[in-house]
Chain A
Amino acid sequence: MELLVSSAIGILTAAGLYLVLRLRTFPVIVGTALLTYAVNVFLFASGGLTTGAPPILRDGVETYADPLPQALVLTAIVISFGMTAVVVVIALGAYLGAGEDRMNDTRPRVDPARGEPGE
């Protein structure tokens, strides 16, 4: 199970990083989403991997799942969800305002090959 979870985190991170390095907004946003999934699984695993154990601490219980990473990951999911929503809205605003969604240039420029982008 450790191998499965850790390779899943690795693949998600690698795919996310690759997408984040793209030049257009949409792949970059998908990349950040993949990275947040990767980090959520990573946080989830940070308390150790257990199956079938309750997330409760009580006296005399030997096997339990660490409840704190579950609370942490819940917070992280909510935050990353909100952040993704915000970045989508801002990126849409930028795309509709500038007519293009390049990541690498803050000055709007006219691309003669592409002409006026359709709205």
Chain B
Amino acid sequence: MTHWIVAPVILPALLAAFMVLATRGNPTVQRTLSVAGAVALVAIAAGLAWQAGGGTVTVYLLGDWAAPFGIVLVADRLSTFMVLLASVLALPVLLYAIGSGWDLKGRHFHALFHFQLMGITGAFLTGDLFNLFVFFEVLLIASYGLVVHSGGAIRLKAGVQYVVFNLLGSTLFLFALGTIYAEAGSLNMADLAGRVAGIEGDGTAAIRVAAVLLLLVFAVKAALVPVHFWLPAAYAEAPGPVAALFAIMTKVGAYAIIRVYTLVFPPELEATAGLHGTWLLPLALVSTALGMLGVLAARRLDRLVAFAVIGSMGMVLTSVALLTQEGVAAALYYIAHSTLATAALFLLVDVVEERRGGHGVRIEGAPSFAGGPLVAGMFFAGAIAMTGLPPLSGFLGKLLILDAAVASPLAPWIWAVILGSSLVAVLGFARAGSTVFWKSREVDMPDTPDTEQDDAVPAHLQRAGPAPRALPMVAVGTLLALLVALTVFAGPVTAHMRATAAQLFAPEPYISAVMSAQGKELDSHGDEYEGDVAATEGGSAESSGGSGEGY
């Protein structure tokens, strides 16, 4: 059995713990270790994705306990792709944090960053619903630390709202898990796939309740519209690199929806039939519209990008809610695209905020700043990608989603909302970009006579900081280059996404790989337990159903 599957979880965990314990107050060592860890994570994730690319499902039994009893990690195309995306995002974001000095503005940035990565990769890899909850908590508790990194009253206040909202989400998750366990007697996703399908009669009502609760929990994570209120404040007030890393957090929710609603509650399951079409799809369309309207209405750049996140998540979930192979494949492409695009934009907003002095990120004219054209050009590229204009990957992603939606009965609505909201987003980004970057010189003119008495100039009119440093701009450039690569290699990437979606909609190999993985013999550790092997195996098979019967 290969141990590499567990490496994306273990490596950040050990590294983070080591950094907290052994390298306190030594930023150089911390930075070196942190970057080395992120590079290693990219390499491991790429290896896993390459291994799973052929369609093999690799199962790792934690503690060598066999599947329905122990916790399993599963590396299939979807999970390895998401891990690769997370690690590819983390490296430039980390470089930006180091280059811009954000990592030293508070304590333990690197440790929290790696704990966050551990939670994210674990959530992608796990094959057990309760373990998914645990990894959600790991990534959330690290994110609580990161949201309030470097402190400040406004940031702490946004942090409280974020934490409380997510605590409620976690509580709801546990209620859903309790209901599922009470009805099905298992929390292993592959095991549940068979058990849930076999539930009949009164049990279907409880299963439907659990499915709705789970959908609600994942919708909170994915910032779907009625439960999106935590996102704008938290993402806007969080430090730039943290907000950029959080670009993958909403996708964890989307991943969980894709995984659970293809494997445990597949579209043909009677108890939960119609859930995605009746609820998820309309809400996702409302998210798309509301997010892009928020882009148009925003008066600050960071809020603008935060609302773009909501809009793009709506786009992703619209495609997911179709629950067809084409829909999921398009959603996966759009997930990769929007993660990189929002991360690049959040980093650029942070660059702008640092350069514009007292004007901060408000969308208003301000004195031009050194390096402005470069930043403006990058913002332009990021905005093109985000709003889905050609030639960048957002355009291709939207095209794939529109194409996948043709067969849906709601196709006219989907087309109208996506195309209309794209227009609104273009307007919003164009207004923000032209105000921030192009109107700068007009405001600069009345400001010039005052330059000899710089002290007298009020803070919000002062000329802003020095030219952007190299490393942060390289990091943003890397993210934009990845977007270009996603566009240029769209053929192979979409082919991989189609294969991923095909694997999701034919879950038999996944289920049999998990359920047939051989762990240690179940009675090998029980000292006072003297049953013979055959009897124990019979007994354990019984007891695995026993909880359901006992109820």
1/0 contact trace for B201-239 toward A, CB 8 Å?
000000000000000000000000000000001000100
**Do A103 and B160 have beta carbons less than 8 Å apart?**
yes
Let me know if B148 is at the binding interface, CB within 8 A.
yes
Q: A39-B171, A108-B154 are in contact. Are A47 and B163 (CB under 8 A)?
A: no
CA distance A98 to B157 in the complex (A): 8
**Do A42 and B164 have beta carbons less than 8 Å apart?**
no
**Do B535 and A59 have beta carbons less than 8 Å apart?**
yes
Let me know if A72 is at the binding interface, CB within 8 A.
yes
Let me know if A76 is at the binding interface, CB within 8 A.
yes
Let me know if B182 is at the binding interface, CB within 8 A.
yes
**Do B144 and A47 have beta carbons less than 8 Å apart?**
no
From B536, which residue of chain A is reached at the shortest CB distance? A59
* One of B140, B164, B182 near A46 (C-beta < 8 A): B182
Let me know if B451 is at the binding interface, CB within 8 A.
no
Nearest-Cβ distance from residue B252 to partner chain A, whole angstroms? 17
CA distance A23 to B152 in the complex (A): 21
**Do A32 and B547 have beta carbons less than 8 Å apart?**
no
In residues 60-116 of chain A, which contact B (Cβ within 8 Å)? 64, 66, 68-69, 72, 75-76, 79-80, 82-84, 86-87, 90-91, 93-94, 97-98, 103, 105-108
Q: Which residues of B contact A94 (CB under 8 A)?
A: 153, 156-157, 159-160
CA distance A90 to B167 in the complex (A): 13
**Do B181 and A69 have beta carbons less than 8 Å apart?**
yes
In residues 522-551 of chain B, which contact A (Cβ within 8 Å)? 529, 531, 535-536, 539-540, 543, 546-547, 550-551
Chain A's interface size range is 35 or more
**Do A42 and B178 have beta carbons less than 8 Å apart?**
yes
Let me know if B434 is at the binding interface, CB within 8 A.
no
Let me know if B141 is at the binding interface, CB within 8 A.
yes
Q: Which residues of B contact A48 (CB under 8 A)?
A: 182, 547, 550-551
Q: Which residues of B contact A40 (CB under 8 A)?
A: 174
Most-contacted residue by chain A among B140, B178, B535 (CB, 10 A): B178
**Do A59 and B531 have beta carbons less than 8 Å apart?**
yes
**Do B154 and A106 have beta carbons less than 8 Å apart?**
yes
**Do B137 and A20 have beta carbons less than 8 Å apart?**
no
CA distance A76 to B187 in the complex (A): 15
**Do B550 and A72 have beta carbons less than 8 Å apart?**
no
From B540, which residue of chain A is reached at the shortest CB distance? A57
**Do B237 and A106 have beta carbons less than 8 Å apart?**
yes
Instruction: Give me 10 other A-B pairs in contact (C-beta within 8 A), A32-B167, A48-B550, A106-B158 excluded.
Output: A20-B168, A36-B167, A42-B175, A46-B181, A66-B546, A69-B181, A80-B170, A105-B157, A106-B237, A108-B153
> Residues of B with Cβ closer than 8 Å to A?
130, 134, 137, 140-141, 144, 148, 151-154, 156-161, 163-164, 167-168, 170-171, 174-175, 177-179, 181-182, 187, 233, 237, 529, 531, 535-536, 539-540, 543, 546-547, 550-551
